[in-house]
Structures are given as structure tokens and as C-alpha cells.
Amino acid sequence: MKPETSQPISPIEKLYRTDFASLTPTDIQEAINYSDPSSAAALQDSEEILGFAEAGIREYPESPEWSYIYERAEKIFRHRAALRGEK
């Protein structure tokens, strides 16, 4: 019998599997970098990433790191939505 090997999870999956209190702006940045802008899931990925960034900025409103990552995630989401003709 072959030993089971664990598959690495994507940075986007990591956002869902990690307790929110443990997430950092770096985790959000890794998910942004991982998301393929040309994939069919690009808009959905960016919307999900934006949701996590929004939760971060609500939890840490005075944090410049969370502010920056939120602005970046929002810009990417808006850009991808515009490319798809959505608002």
C-alpha cells in the first residue's frame, strides 16, 4: 500500500482553511499572486480574495499593511470585473 501524500494547497484555499485571526496581509498577497488573471475563475478568485482583504481591514482599520492589501485586492477585482463587463 502506497503512503498517502498530501497535496499542497493553493494560497486561495489556504485563506479558507486558516483561522482568520492567523491570516496576514502576506497571505492575501500570496493569493493575489497565485490567481491567474486569464483563467475562467479569475473574477471569482479576485472577489473571494477581496472578501478576505475586506475582513482584514475591518478587523485592523488602522493597519497600513491591511489598508494597502485591501486597496490592491479591490483594484484587481474592479479591473477583472471591467474586463468581463460587470460592475
**pLDDT tens sequence across 38-66:** 999 999 999 999 999 999 999 999 999 99
What pLDDT, on a 0 to 100 scale, did the predictor assign at position 3?
55
Helix then strand count (H, E) for the chain reads: 4, 0
* Mean pLDDT value across residues 19-32: 95
Tell me the torsion sign for CA atoms 53, 19, 16, 13. Answer: positive
Nearest-10 crossing angle of helices 64-83, 42-59: 150
By percentage, how much of the chain surpasses pLDDT 70?
92
Task: Choose among 14, 29, 37: nearest CA to 70.
Answer: 29
What pLDDT, on a 0 to 100 scale, did the predictor assign at position 13?
94
C-alpha–C-alpha distance, residues 1 and 23, integer Å: 37
CB atoms within 10 A of CB 29: 18
